[in-house]
Structure 1
Amino acid sequence: MADLLRPGDLAKALQLSPARIRQLAYEGRIPFLTTPGGHRRYDLDEVRAALLATHTQAWRGAFPLEGLREDQLWRDLRPSLDPISEQGRGIAAYAVTEMVNNAIDHSAGTSVTVEARRATNHITITVQDDGVGVFRTVRDGFGLPDYFAAVAELSKGKRTTDRERHSGEGIFFTSKAVDVFELAANGIVWVLDNDVADQSLGMSRVDVGTRVRLRIDSGTERELNDVFRAFSHEHDFVRSQPTIKLFEIGTEFVSRSEAKRLLEGMEEFTEITLDFHGVLSVGQGFVDETFRVWARAHPGVTLSPVNANPAVLYMIERGLPKPDRT
């Protein structure tokens, strides 16, 4: 069973007020369990599904993966999204075709179901296959220790287990283009909320196949090309923003091995932003391996730490290579 949340934690995850959560529970619109002490606890997956069910279904289709063309599926789906801004339609076109193509090429499944639902000011598109699960595919393909490490690989961008057919950019750019991106598979769920610039990692009931949910504001003015430009230079994908807090279920990073895993494959980029949000402390070995050893071995790559607390920032600055004195 997925971890159960307190009302305050659920409110934060859904961007709703605690009062609104209490109202929804009282009205019977979201499911909950009651502890022996009389406190309500919530399963995030079940609550999201209950809320999604209140949206109007605009389109739904189930397809065998063999012989499926993602462009034709998109043409069938597209009219059901109106009214939506041109920018939103462009983002949806990219996201849907990329995610369906991933199911075709990577899932090792037999079918995919695509559904679009409309709320007052946004649309939610769900793409779900019956394959082995994206985190298992990435874990096995890169020889990683667990599914959480697979999430970390996906967050880097430009990482793929099939270089002959894929650039590794699809999930990365889709996660940056939509308003909320949710990727669930193999018992865990990774959520990126671009509206509040935050992300989370938790447990999920999806243990067969992969489920992708894409939320797009119907009136969005975000240009897909602006998303590409934010991570590109001269039309090549050269930037990446791996989020360090995803690499372990914890807030401390002390070892050289953690640093090596963080930077595995990152030599392909020229600019890397290391986000330390939520990290409480780092060790000298981690800092030295990252900012001296790896940086010296890859002089063409710029490492930029951001969102570090004072203690972490002190350790980073202390560990940076000292300028030569002549």
Structure 2
Amino acid sequence: MSKSDIIKNFILANVQKHPRDIATVLADKFNFSRQRAHHYLKKEVKSGNILKTGRTRWSQYFLASGSYVEFIEKIKPGLAEDKVWSQYVKPIILSCPENIYRICAYGFTEIFNNAIDHSKGTTIFSDIKIKQNVLTIRIIDNGVGIFKKIQKALKLDSSKEAILHLSKGKFTTDPSNHTGEGIFFTSRMFDKFSILSSDMFYTFQNEDWFLSPEKNEEFGQGTLIKMEISLKSKKTPKAVFDQYTDQEIGFGKTIVAVALSADPNDPHVSRSQAKRLLLGLEKFKTIVLNFKGVSSVGQAFVDEIFRVFQNEYPDITIHYFNANEEVDSMIKRGLSNR
């Protein structure tokens, strides 16, 4: 075995343990300069065996065929999510099943692009980890925060209301450049999709949004998006798209968690609550209301949805499910009065 091969094997065997100081470890092992060590590292990067992230003293190295990579990008003109995907993320995920690869390609590029275009931050940190057959992607920006931005755009009383509008799909603060579909579809492709911002941690899992008890005390300003999926998952992007789209009208169906439209301690009774719930839903052909977690509803709330809104948009079909006996009774009473 040549000396070059010995050095190569040493790099590949030790880079995961020493992502930040592999050049020093390499130089000490073979008794040559750090400049010489960087020459060998550059050679392995060029050959595609290892990934280099960061620049100068912030450089880190990771196995291209490994199970972890992290990087930071400055938000500036020219930063493109597809280039970041190809340079840092794709090599780690190439060995995954094709459906997982496609889901990650869609999810990463959608969410990374959101951070570039919407966060108003200066940097984006991301890491990708594969552990115990679960792949996790995190994308973190230091911007204004997704919930605060939506609150300001819609003039909402509380940033808590923002998750309701975000969860519907087709909502965006920049309609000329974005469809608002990214988070809706990404959250349904992954097994678990979480958003941490403004001290609120919402998770979408098993077709439902809920306020997560998890907290990250070290997290400051901005938005953290975390996406998790089992490598054994059989989901495909096509199956998820097909569930909510029509060949003629495109993205035409949405499922809305009614519980998100009011504080857990407040009953769903008023027309104004119903109007907040319905905001933007006229863009869809089919609306499915999930009443899970809603203990009771008022006559005005029901009337606004099932009579007033329905009369205004007669071509829209409204379905509902997960209603308890009391809620179901109120809805049926409202439907009979149409």
TM-score, length basis structure 2: 0.76
Residue equivalent to 2:129: 117
Q: Which moved more, 1:209-218 or 1:249-258?
A: 249-258
Q: Secondary structure at the match of 2:256?
A: coil
* Aligned counterparts of 2:257 and 2:194: Cα–Cα separation in 1: 16
CA contact (8 A) 2:67 2:131 kept: no
CA contact (8 A) 1:184 1:211 kept: yes
Of 143, 160, 175 in structure 1, the residue corresponding to residue 172 of structure 2 is 160
- AA in 1 matched with 2:184: F
Of 281, 285, 296 in structure 2, the residue corresponding to residue 281 of structure 1 is 296
Residue equivalent to 1:198: 208
Larger relative contact order (Cα-Cα within 8 Å, sequence gap ≥ 6): 1
Superposed, 1:143-182 pairs within 5 Å as 143-182=155-194
* Aligned counterparts of 2:246 and 2:132: Cα–Cα separation in 1: 37
- AA in 2 matched with 1:75: S
* Aligned counterparts of 1:263 and 1:72: Cα–Cα separation in 2: 38
Give the share of equivalent positions with the same residue, in percent.
37
Residue equivalent to 1:243: 257
Displacement, 1:82? Answer: 4.8
Residue equivalent to 1:71: 82
Q: What whole-Å deviation, never above 9, does each CA across 1:27-61 have from its counterpart, x for those lacking one?
A: xxxxxxxxxxxxxxxxxxxxxxxxxxxxx961111
Residue equivalent to 2:100: 88
Displacement, 1:221? Answer: 1.5
* Aligned counterparts of 2:261 and 2:85: Cα–Cα separation in 1: 34
CA contact (8 A) 2:208 2:257 kept: no
* Aligned counterparts of 1:123 and 1:83: Cα–Cα separation in 2: 12
Q: What whole-Å deviation, never above 9, does each CA across 1:121-145 have from its counterpart, x for those lacking one?
A: 1110100011000011111111111
Displacement, 1:148? Answer: 1.2
CA contact (8 A) 2:209 2:257 kept: no
Displacement, 1:321? Answer: 4.2
Q: Which has the larger radius of gyration?
A: 2
Of 235, 247, 253 in structure 2, the residue corresponding to residue 234 of structure 1 is 247
CA contact (8 A) 2:295 2:324 kept: yes
CA contact (8 A) 1:201 1:246 kept: no
* Aligned counterparts of 2:293 and 2:189: Cα–Cα separation in 1: 23
* Aligned counterparts of 2:178 and 2:111: Cα–Cα separation in 1: 12
Superposition RMSD in Å: 1.5
Q: What whole-Å deviation, never above 9, does each CA across 1:199-252 have from its counterpart, x for those lacking one?
A: 311464444111000001112221101101111111610111110111222162
Displacement, 1:68? Answer: 1.1
Gaps of 5+ in 2: 1-65
Does 2:276 correspond to 1:264?
no
* Aligned counterparts of 2:210 and 2:106: Cα–Cα separation in 1: 23
Displacement, 1:305? Answer: 1.0
* Aligned counterparts of 2:226 and 2:320: Cα–Cα separation in 1: 30
CA contact (8 A) 2:202 2:209 kept: yes
- AA in 2 matched with 1:244: V
Does 2:153 correspond to 1:141?
yes
Q: Which moved more, 1:144-153 or 1:244-253?
A: 244-253
CA contact (8 A) 1:123 1:215 kept: yes
CA contact (8 A) 1:258 1:286 kept: yes
Q: What whole-Å deviation, never above 9, does each CA across 1:47-83 have from its counterpart, x for those lacking one?
A: xxxxxxxxx9611110011121100111121111254
* Aligned counterparts of 1:210 and 1:57: Cα–Cα separation in 2: 24
* Aligned counterparts of 1:82 and 1:122: Cα–Cα separation in 2: 15
CA contact (8 A) 1:292 1:321 kept: no
TM-score, length basis structure 1: 0.79
Gaps of 5+ in 1: 1-55
Q: Secondary structure at the match of 2:83?
A: helix
* Aligned counterparts of 1:270 and 1:249: Cα–Cα separation in 2: 28
Displacement, 1:322? Answer: 4.3
Instruction: Tell me how many residue pairs correspond in the alignment.
Output: 266
Q: Secondary structure at the match of 1:253?
A: coil
* Aligned counterparts of 2:104 and 2:128: Cα–Cα separation in 1: 11
Which 4+ residue blocks in structure 1 deviate beyond 2 angstroms?
A: 202-207
Q: What whole-Å deviation, never above 9, does each CA across 1:96-130 have from its counterpart, x for those lacking one?
A: 00000001100000110110111111110100011
